[in-house]
Amino acid sequence: MKNTILLASLLLIAFCGNAQDSTSLFQNFNVDDSTGIGGDHFPPGWTPPYHVVDGGQIWKHYTAYGKNNSPCVEFNGYQGGASHDNDTWMIAPKLNLSGYSSVMLHFSAVYLYAGDSLHAKVSTNFSGTGNPEASGVTWVEPNHYAIMLDDSNNVSSLRDFQIDLTPYIGAHTFVGFQYKSSSTPALASRWTLDSVTTTGVLNTHTGVQTLEKENIVLKVIGNTTSDKLILGFNAPAGNYFVSLFDMEGRNVSNLSLVATEGDHFYTISGLNLNRGMYVIKLSNETNYGIAKVIVQ
């Protein structure tokens, strides 16, 4: 089901990278200026797709099929009735995590049909340009994602995954997503990727100024159902990220919004929640608020 925000001023946003190192990732692929992602149309700050083996396929942007049917990116090595050889990387902006004591990478993904599973890798010695598989470049794959296979071809089947980036805090870090497909044997899965974000705990002993401060009064208004809840808050103008967690700490929903200065009421629908208690966090890089809600 598709999340909808019933407010005229709401916009879905994507984090725009720049030439400087990033201290966090916030890329939901909701903004794109072309039908295909590649070259000049690749998300700002992300390394354009690098083809180690160029099968002619590219990462593509879709206005649906992502988390809660939101926009996303996909790669499919099966085109024109045949599987093709591909070894293609999509790499996030370089991360400088020195101000944190712990950091987690989050993303939503699924792969369909026979073929290779998603590879999400981390490097501390990639230069940021050129061949990511060049001699001397090391990538570590912290987790294996074979369990994410879902051959139901159901676009709502994206699942949430995470990688602990804490071991890489002391170095400049790259996160890369590597797609592989093969013509012989004919194996070409389709990958869908969305909501690549980081969350972290700041190191208060480094002298780094606190980046997040709990100063947003966040409330849940009225009765919450399995499908809908209403948030009320007063916050500075800016881009915000809303995360919903169950009592086991699992991230069950994410969305982004743009708020103007002052009081706001946002209706979020299409949640499909189970009964129980949930924790909601509204945040940006400097402010956050937390509230609890019970779904009857």
**Extents of the domains making up the chain:** 13-202, 213-295
13-202 and 213-295 share one fold: no
* pLDDT value of residue 14: 29
Neighbours of 260 (CB within 10 A): 11
CB 90 within 8 A of CB 46: yes
Q: What are the structure tokens assigned to 45, written together?
A: 């700050």
- Whether the upstream peptide bond of residue 185 has omega within 30° of 0, thus cis, is yes
pLDDT at residue 4 is higher than 50: no
Q: pLDDT of 164-176, one tens digit each?
A: 888 888 788 999 9
Confirm or reject CATH 2.60.120.200 for domain 13-202, answering yes or no.
yes
Q: pLDDT of 273-290, one tens digit each?
A: 888 888 888 887 677 788
Which residue, 159, 229, 162, is CA-closest to 200?
162
CB 252 within 8 A of CB 279: no
Low-confidence winner among 88-102, 135-149, 208-222, 226-240 (lowest mean pLDDT) = 208-222
Q: Residue 18: what residue type?
A: N
- Those residues whose C-beta lies under 8 Å from the C-beta of residue 183, and which sit 6 or more positions away, are 55, 82, 83, 84, 85
State the residue for tokens 């009857």: 296
Read off the DSSP letter of residue 113: S
CB 241 within 8 A of CB 233: no
Neighbours of 136 (CB within 10 A): 7
Which residue, 178, 40, 164, is CA-closest to 116?
178
pLDDT at residue 153 is higher than 60: no
Neighbours of 188 (CB within 10 A): 25
Which of the listed CATH numbers 3.90.1150.10, 3.90.1170.50, 3.40.50.10490, 2.60.40.3080 matches domain 213-295? 2.60.40.3080
Which residue, 186, 196, 208, 202, is CA-closest to 254?
196
User: How far from 52 is each of 34, 130, 134, CA to CA, in Å?
Assistant: 24, 10, 9
Low-confidence winner among 25-39, 132-146, 234-248 (lowest mean pLDDT) = 25-39
